[in-house]
Chains A and B, each alone.
Chain A
Amino acid sequence: MIPTPSGMDIALSGAAVRFGTFQAVHPTDLTIEAGEFFSILGPSGCGKTTILRLLSGFLDPSEGEVRIGGRPMAGIGPSDRPTALIFQNLALFPLMTVWENVAFGLEMRGWKTARRRARAFELLEIVALDGQGDKLPAEISGGQRQRVAIARALAVEPAVLLLDEPLSALDLKLRQHMRAELKQLQEATGITFVYITHDQGEALTMSDRVAVMNRGRIVQVGSADDVYDRPATAFVATFVGEMNHLPGRIESVAGDRARIATPGGSFLAPNPGGLAPGTEAVLFLRPERLHLLGPGEVAANGIDGHLLRRDMEGAFSTLIVETAAGRLTVQRVNSGAGGLPAGPLRLGFADSAGVILPAGETADDAA
């Protein structure tokens, strides 16, 4: 019963958008596979919504080209593209009933009332809204409205579904539930999903691939594991998840590792950019890759510190440790052993744990 138009692929080649003197999107090359769940992740104002508007047809690129399903989209308006957009605020038509909302696209395609009504109720059943068809959008809950917006977009059998932060208005529980539903729907339909979000949790859990955007540029495209564990820039490293930074200078290079000298000591870590000795750089370390070293225990890298605070968060606890290289955040799985006494301690991490990247703009600067 779920409409199964095959998804279409999307290609941006050199697509850029300028508003006056403001470069909203720098020339961008991007390919999204047919049937892929693709997220664009970035802070507000990074240009991700502009890219969505390029795809939906509300905006034409100032230069470059957009292709959907191999077809150039120049001169093709939103009404005629094989895309459907789910708006951030859902944009349900408030004066129409739920089923009229769902059937709107079919009405525009000239379907007779009885036929489109039947189809709308079918779609409402798919999104588990049977019996809600004759209500007004204002009379149903936020999660139900979300489903109406999805059904309304599916009704026109799009090859590409564009989603503009559609979950941001929902509470946490419902948001997590809808994540699973969206992913399931995408797998069942085979439609290409392009999902815009500033919430890295959403992007990482649902997507086949994630593009991280900053200041009008896509700075990295990769799987959730890629962007989390192998960030390409300081911005990606700090925007996706929690990150400790230890600024320093490359001391020596050995293979794909380098030794970086920081005020807290010198550490061995992956050097994916092949930075040469003498370069100013930053060692990025995830809080969960740092662990406490017991007496006599050794690790590839060790750093002495002083426990300032322990925040109990349930499944894990967060330690704030003052070191010569700055304040570090450590995450520990909660073993049930209780708290630690404040005072001196030693932290360790593997030589594969961190990543050395050139110093550059971080998410904290952007914010």
Chain B
Amino acid sequence: MTRTGSGLLLRVYMGVFFLYMFLPLGIMVAAGFNAYSPPSVTVWKGFTLHWFVELWQDDRMWSGLANSVLIEGAVIALALPMGLAGALLLGRLGTRAAGVLYTAMVSPLLTPGIILGISTVIFWRGLEVSAGLFTAILAQTTFIASYTMLMFMARLQRQDTALEEAALDLGATPFQAFRRITLPFLRPTILTAAVIAFLQSFENYNTTMFAIGGAHTLVTEIGSRMRFGLSPAINALGILFILATIVFALAWGALKARERRAAEHAT
């Protein structure tokens, strides 16, 4: 094949790829401004902001979002220390004990989410605790802690064990060595693990659905409305999320660029 031929093929491939990625988003955004329900772009009834107003007045949606944020916060607060503790322990145990602990910590990733949700509710019902936000938090934490542990393990494997030993040798207590040497080394992973935990918790449907009882998160609320047909208010919500994502991404990029400039300036 000629050079230009392969170049053309590459371009076509890229075009199809981006179409596949972004066309659904484009349709979803367009439908959010269409004065027609259920969401559609094939039947165009004119531009409207009505669905944003409807979304604004939808209290169950906003209480679901509030619940989602609450659960995320709690899941991050639980899954990060649990994952870190597991990863630290795995690095220090003998091979056999480490194998058992590793299997126990990772098994929630291999268990269907529904089972995690149901078993959490059954366990806590036995303790007279009924399903709600609390059980949803614990059910999500079971598998999100596995993710954070794997991330911390990967990072810790790259740490030179001599660094902690050097700190001990210079008079640090084990806690001081952890706080001054290991924790700063883990800082980037703490941030990414928190982001992953946030995303996993926010988008989780199956585990949460079964564990949350009568309460609801944004995602379970949207899921339950699927049965009655969605309103384009959902599209309006999607548009807001896309905007928020773009704003965060731009802000992050700007922040990184400024750090780079500062670093170049310093040297």
Interface positions of A (Cβ within 8 A of B): 56-58, 77-80, 83-85, 87-89, 91, 93-95, 104-105, 107-109, 139, 152-153, 155-156
Contacts and interface: CB of A to CB of B under 8 A. Distances in A.
B160 interface: yes
Nearest to A85: B169
Contact of B165 (A83, A91, A107, A139): A91
B170 A156 contact: yes
B162 A105 contact: no
Given A95-B184, A95-B185, A56 B172 contact: no
Contacts of B170: 79, 84, 104-105, 108, 152-153, 155-156
Contacts of B168: 58, 77-79
11 contacts: A57-B169, A58-B165, A78-B168, A79-B173, A85-B169, A91-B162, A105-B170, A108-B176, A109-B171, A153-B170, A156-B170
A87 B170 CA distance: 12
A108 B172 contact: yes
**Closest 9 A-B residue pairs measured CB to CB?**
A105-B170, A91-B162, A91-B166, A108-B171, A78-B169, A78-B168, A85-B169, A108-B172, A87-B162
Interface in B147-193: 160, 162-163, 165-173, 176, 180-181, 184-185
A83 to B, nearest CB: 8
B176 A91 contact: no
B163 A91 contact: yes
Contacts, number: 61
Nearest to A56: B169
B169 A84 contact: yes
A89 B165 contact: no
Nearest to B176: A108
Interface string B204-234: 0000000000000000000000000000000
B163 A93 contact: yes
Given A80-B171, A93-B166, A155-B170, 10 more contacts: A56-B169, A77-B168, A79-B168, A79-B169, A79-B171, A104-B167, A105-B171, A108-B170, A152-B170, A156-B170
Interface of B: 160, 162-163, 165-173, 176, 180-181, 184-185, 267
B265 to A, nearest CB: 15
A64 B108 CA distance: 48
What is the predominant secondary structure among interface residues of chain A facing chain B? mixed
Contacts of A57: 169
A302 to B, nearest CB: 54
B9 to A, nearest CB: 44
Contacts of A152: 170
Contacts of A104: 167, 170, 172, 180
Given A58-B165, A108-B176, A93 B171 contact: no
Given A93-B181, A108-B176, A156 B171 contact: yes
A95 B183 CA distance: 11
B91 to A, nearest CB: 16
A88 B168 CA distance: 16
Contacts of B172: 79, 104, 108
B165 A78 contact: yes
A94 B163 CA distance: 9
A266 to B, nearest CB: 54
Contacts of A105: 170-171
Contacts of A84: 169-170
Contacts of B165: 58, 78, 85, 87, 91
Contacts of B169: 56-58, 78-79, 83-85
Contacts of B160: 89, 91
Contacts of A85: 165-166, 169
Contacts of A93: 163, 166-167, 180-181
Contacts of A155: 170
A87 B166 contact: yes
Nearest to B168: A78
A188 B109 CA distance: 60
Contacts of A78: 165, 168-169
Contacts of B185: 95
Given A95-B184, A95-B185, A108-B176, A89 B162 contact: yes
Contacts of B173: 79, 108
Contacts of A88: 162
Contacts of A94: 163
A175 to B, nearest CB: 20
| Interface-centre pick from A80, A89, A104 (highest chain B CB count, 10 A) | A104
A85 B173 CA distance: 16
A80 B180 CA distance: 18
Contacts of B181: 93
B141 to A, nearest CB: 30
Nearest to B181: A93
A241 B180 CA distance: 44
B225 to A, nearest CB: 49
Contacts of A91: 160, 162-163, 165-166
B208 to A, nearest CB: 38
A152 B166 CA distance: 10
B155 to A, nearest CB: 13
A209 B152 CA distance: 46
A73 to B, nearest CB: 14
